[in-house]
Amino acid sequence: MKETPIRLDVWLAERYPDKSRTQVAGWIRQGHVWVNGKPAKPNTRVTPKDAITVEEPEEKETTLKPENLPLTIVWQDAYLAIIEKEAGMIVHPAPGVTSGTLVHALLYHLKDELSTEGGLRRPGIVHRLDRDTTGLLIIAKDDATHRALSRQIQERNILREYIAMVHGHLREEKGTVILPIGRSRSDTGKMAVRGRAARDAVTHFQLEEQFADCALVRCRLETGRTHQIRVHMRAIGHPILGDPLYGIKKERYKLPHQLLHAQHLAFTHPKTKEPMEFVSEPPKPFSSFLAKQRAK
C-alpha cells in the first residue's frame, strides 16, 4: 500500500482480485470492515499506518458442479495433491466465468477431498497461476493442510520457480527486481509497477540461455502478486514472449500463449515434515519454441 491515502474500497479490491469493487464496497456497508477498530465507509481513506480488519462474509450457496475436464495429477496423498495446469484454464470461478475452471475439474477428480479454507468457490486452492501460465500447483485436501501451506507461502518458505522466454538481450546474468505492484491507473484489467494500492513485490531472475533476440530465464518468486513475473520482466525491458497484456504489440513470433511455466516447487509436507520437490517439463509450445532457438 502506498503512503498516499487511498479509498478503502480500492484497497480491498486490490487484496481480493477475484472480487469486484462493488462487492467489497458491500462488505464495508454491511459492517464487515473496520479501520483502527471503528466501522468504515467505502470512501474512507487509508494509509499503511492504518489497522484494517476484514471479516469476509460467508459466500452464498454455491452452484458449482463437477466437470469431467482433463486434469494431470502429478502426485497426491491424503493431505495434498500436486497438479499440472494447462494453458487456457482459469484456476477458479470469477465474475463472468462460471464453468471450465480448474476448480470444476478438481471437484470431479478429487470429489470431496478438498479444503474449504479458501471459500466455496476456491476449494483446495492454496495459490494460483494466470489463465495462460502453465505448470505446477499445490492443492490442499483439508483445512489444516491448507492453513499450514498458506503459512509457508507467507513466510516465504515455499520455493516457486518459473521458466520464461523473454524478449531481448539481458545485460546481467542474474538479478533481483524489487518493485511494488498494484492495479494499473489507466487500465483496470492490468497490473502495474507502483499502481493503485501497490504492494511490495520481489522477483529473482537468472539467465539460462541467450539467443539472437530472446532469452530463456529462470524466475523465483519471493512474493506472489497478481501477474508479478509478467509485470516485473516488462518493467526491466524484457517482456515475456506471447504475453497479450504486457508483451510487445507487434511480436514477430506467433505463439498460442505466453511462454511462462511454473516448473519447480519445493516445500515441507505439512503433516509428515518431509521435504517435497517437484519439477515439470514445459508444454509443447514452449519446448518446441526453445528447440527451434537452440537449433539456429
69 vs 235: CA distance, rounded Å: 36
The model carries a pTM of: 0.81
* pLDDT digits 0-9 by tens, 154-211: 999 999 999 999 999 999 999 999 999 998 888 878 999 988 778 899 999 999 999 9
Supply the pLDDT for residue 193.
95
Exposed / middle / buried, residue 92 (Cβ in 10 Å: 0-12, 13-18, 19+): buried
CA dihedral sign, ordered 23, 28, 30, 34: positive
| Greatest alpha-carbon span in the chain | 64
Q: Which CATH architecture has domain 161-261+290-295?
A: 2-Layer Sandwich (3.30)
The yes-or-no answer to whether 6-54 and 161-261+290-295 have a common fold is no
Would you place residue 1 in the very low, low, confident or very high pLDDT band (cuts 50, 70, 90)?
very low
* pLDDT digits 0-9 by tens, 59-116: 555 568 999 999 999 999 999 999 999 999 999 987 778 899 999 999 999 988 999 9
CATH code for the part of the protein at 60-155: 3.30.2350.10
Q: Which CATH architecture has domain 6-54?
A: Roll (3.10)
Inter-residue long-range contacts of 24-31, CB under 8 Å, 24+ positions, other chains counted: 27/54, 27/56, 27/57, 30/57
Kindly report the average pLDDT of the chain as a whole number: 91
Residues with a known catalytic role? 130
With 50 as the cut, is the pLDDT of residue 253 above it?
Answer: yes
DSSP code for 6: E
- Every domain of the chain and the residues it spans: 6-54, 60-155, 161-261+290-295
